Amino acid sequence: MRQLHWADDKTITVFVLPNQHELHKHFSKERLQIFPYQLNRIWHKLTYSGLGVAPVVVNSPEALIQAVLKTPGSIGYADEKLLANLVSNTMSNSNNKEKNSGKGVVHVVTIKD
């Protein structure tokens, strides 16, 4: 979670939902194994103390998907159904699949129950 750059030295841009969004809470707690308020403490310190750059907060899951699609080297999370609707059906049902859609390569990691 502390990694700032990809292997090619390009900066990782992270998009997240607001702190109180249920998807953010669930993803933070269940996947990152960290409580949302802990992330907030770390990110607030980065943002308002000059130490670094915190993730970019977007207002909705739709906006998050669009932001990741438009930003090379970015990362985010999304609900399966919403992602399927917004991106492409072929992308939504596979694990660790790379898709070259003509607009670039989107890498999807499916996280199952």
Partner 1 sequence: MLSQSKTNMKWGTGVFKSFVFTLLLMNSAQAASDKGYSDSHDFQLHGFISQGIIDVNGSDFVHDHDSLSTELTELGINASYQLNSTFRLAGQLVYLDGGNRYEKGIRVDYALLDWSIYSSDFWQTNIYLGRFKNNHWLNSSSRVIPFARPSIILPQSVYFDGFRDIAVGSDGAAIKISHSDDELGNFDFNLSYGKSPISDKQQKILMGELASGVAKQDHDAQASFYWQPAFSSWRLGLSLLDSDFSYQQSETFDFFSDANFTFQFYTMNALYEGEYWEFSGEIYQQRFITDGFYSPIAHVDNVGRGFYGQTRYKLTSDLTLLARYEDFYLDEDDKDGKLLEASTGVPYYFAFHKDITLGLSYDFTSNLKVRAEYHWVRGAGRLTPVVLPNPRVNSSEDWQMWAVQLMYWF
Q: Segment 81-110, which members bind partner 1 (CB under 8 A)?
A: 81, 83, 87, 92, 96, 98, 102-110
List the one residue out of 62, 54, 63 whose CA is nearest residue 84.
Answer: 62
Q: Is the dihedral of CA 83, 97, 109, 66 positive or negative?
A: negative
Residues 27-46 that bind partner 1 (CB under 8 A): 27, 30-33, 35, 37-38, 40-41, 44-45
To the nearest whole angstrom, how small is the minimum distance from the Cβ of residue 62 to partner 1?
14
Asked if residues 24 and 18 have their Cβ atoms less than 8 Å apart, the reply is yes
Identify the burial level of 28 via C-beta atoms within 10 angstroms of its C-beta, where 0-12 means exposed, 13-18 middle and 19 or more buried: buried
Cβ 99 to partner 1 shortest distance, Å: 10
Give the three-state DSSP class for 28: helix
Q: Give me the least distance between CB of 53 and partner 1, in Å please.
A: 6
Task: Pick between residue 90 and residue 107 the one whose CB is nearest to partner 1.
Answer: 107
CB of 79 vs partner 1, minimal distance in Å: 6
Q: Under the criterion CB under 8 A, does residue 8 sit at the interface with partner 1? A: yes
Question: Half-sphere exposure of 95 toward its Cβ, with a 13 Å CA cutoff?
Answer: 2
How many residues contact partner 1, by CB under 8 A? 72
